[in-house]
Chains A and B, each alone.
Chain A
C-alpha cells in the first residue's frame, strides 16, 4: 500500500482564518480523496481530486469553502477557508490501492477552530 503523509498533524486556528492541509503520497496515484471526520462521527467524503482536472465535490461541500489543488500525481492540498468552530474536525486524505478497489488513508489533520 502507498505511504501517505499529511501536514500539519494538528492545528488550532482562529475563526475567520484559513488553513491549507497537505497530503503527500510516496507513489504516483490517479485519484485522491479528502474526507472529514467530525468529533465522534464517521467519515464523510468532501471531494475527489484527479490530477489535471477540477475536483469533484460531494453534496454539501463547495469549492469556495474547501478549495483543492492537485498539481501532480503525488500531492494534493485541501484548504479550509473562513473557518468557524463547526469546521473543527479531522481531515483525512486517501488514495486508491494497487488493486483499484480499496482506499488507504493518511494519518489525518486534527483541526480545532476557536
Chain B
C-alpha cells in the first residue's frame, strides 16, 4: 500500500521568502509523485509531476520538486513566495500502473504575509 505524509498542516512565509513544503512517501514499487495546488473554492491544479528520469522537476508558477529515493521524499520549493501562492498544496503518489489510483497527503496550507 502506498501512503503520503505531509509535514506541517500550515506553513507561513513572508513575501519573497523561500517556500519549502515537505512530502514523504511510502511505496513498494517505483512511485509516480505529484504536487497539486488548490486555491479557495476551486478544484485541484497540477503543479508538477515526477515519473521517471530527471529527479529535479520544474512545474508551473516557479515551483520545483526533487525526488530523493534514499530519503523517500519529494519536497516542493519555490525561491521567492508571492502573495498569489497562498493556497492548499497536496502531495500525491501513484504506483505507476495503468490504473493510476492517486493517494493524497493531508495537505499543507501556505500562508504568505506581506
Please name all residues of chain A whose beta carbon is closer than 8 Å to the beta carbon of B98 when the two chains form the complex: 100
Please name all residues of chain B whose beta carbon is closer than 8 Å to the beta carbon of A105 when the two chains form the complex: 36, 43-45
How many interface residues does chain A have, given as a range? 20 to 34
User: Known interface pairs A42-B90, A101-B32. Does A108 touch B104 (Cβ–Cβ under 8 Å)?
Assistant: no
* B90:A103 contact, CB within 8 angstroms: no
How many interface residues does chain B have, given as a range? 20 to 34
Mask of B40-62 contacts with A, CB within 8 angstroms, 1/0: 01111110010100000000000
* A108:B34 contact, CB within 8 angstroms: no
Chain A residue with the shortest CB-CB distance to B109:
A40
Q: Is the CB of A96 closer than 8 A to any CB of chain B?
A: yes
Q: Is the CB of B87 closer than 8 A to any CB of chain A?
A: no
| Bound Cα distance from A108 to B109, whole angstroms | 19
Please name all residues of chain A whose beta carbon is closer than 8 Å to the beta carbon of B32 when the two chains form the complex: 101-102
